[in-house]
Amino acid sequence: MKTNLTTFALLVLALLPSRVKGDNLFVEAGGIILRFDTTVGAASESTFVSVNGGADSLAVDASGNVYAGNINYPYGSIYKFAPNGSGDQFAVPLFSYGLTLDTNGNLFMDGDTYPGRTAVIYKFTPATNQSIFASGSGLSVGGLAFDRNGILWMANGGYGTVIKFVTGGNHSTFVTLPGSSSYPRCVAFDSQGDLFVSDYGANIVYEFTNNAGNLSSSVNTFASVGEPYGLAFDSSGDLFVASESSGNIYEYINAGGSLSPTPTTFASGLSDPTALAIGAVAPSLNISYSTGNVVVSWPSPSTGFVLQTNGVISTVNWSNYSGTVTTNGTTNSVTISPPSGHDFFRLAKP
């Protein structure tokens, strides 16, 4: 069963434990960007778009646009796709190994240029103005991520290090990973500020813990994963890891602020999965009780989102809510009778 939703929030009206998720997981595999509904899981797999040369890096902006960068010889490209999959080349010729966005919607790309092959980090404004953020000695190629203080970090693959940009384009080495085979590929931060690094060469995902705002450079092995590539956290704090050698996407569940050391297999049998990105999160749904009825509410305006219902959460057979939606200018709401079984609601952005 396929789904064409770009982003949603989920609310469960049932007397059972639930974890609110509301994301799309984008995965590059075999030259195709796949989209998964993280609430449903692998059964929701659909093809978002095919990319000539595949994608070695992915990023999703707040509007649901997907950026894909590749190193397709001889030039390389960055593509920009709208939530419906339409789009084209965004910038050329650039070999893109890492993409990320800051809170202002600026796109940062780590890669190199042809034919000089000099490692450069470019910055693109929402108006597509291009500038060089950093370049020079000591830079290789790898994934990028911003921490919660707005500092840019990079997996500095060729040097086996993780670096951060302290002022503008000036960088310092945070840590040198152990082992001669080390090749850090991607970096990601959780909501607590802990740093995770996928070491493709060593088959390890490392964790660096944040203690009261101070990130420790002590090297801790979080998990052993075959050729770990992309890393991504969803809105529930679950960590997704792409394992290129196994063809699997692993999910480490967040339980009370701690990640389970034992993963579940979110998706399997993929063709060389590499880059990962989580889509924009939808507005939050809330539930309350009033005079024997259930009130489901969400912020107004929530442009582009519609309320949908489903009787079974494990399927993708969602339908638009057909009842009356009221608004007071700041809040949308619907009032329903308490369900005899299970009713599930979500906001969807078709």
The answer to whether the bond into 74 is cis (omega within 30° of 0) is yes
Instruction: Give the Cα separation of 42 and 33 in Å (integer).
Output: 14
The pLDDT value given to residue 206: 98
Cis bond before residue 83 (omega within 30° of 0) = no
- pLDDT for position 127: 81
- Look up residue 84 and give its two tokens: 């419906």
Per-residue model confidence (pLDDT) at position 17 = 31
Domains of the chain: which residue ranges? Answer: 24-278, 286-348
Distance CA 171, CA 161 (A): 12
Radius of gyration of the chain (CA): 21
Residue 288: per-residue pLDDT: 84
Q: Give dist(CA 2, CA 267) in Å, integer.
A: 15
Q: What does pTM read for this prediction?
A: 0.78
Q: Before 184, cis peptide (omega within 30)?
A: no
- 293 with 287: CB under 8 angstroms? no
**Which pLDDT score, from 0 to 100, does residue 3 have?**
33
The stretches in the chain having pLDDT less than 70 are 1-22, 73-75, 113-118, 280-283, 303-304, 313-316, 349-350
CATH for the stretch 24-278: 2.120.10.30
Residue 106 has a pLDDT of 94
In which residue are the tokens 């290789």 written?
140
3-state secondary structure 164-208: EEEECCEEEEEEECCCCCCCEEEEEECCCCCEEEEECCCCEEEEE
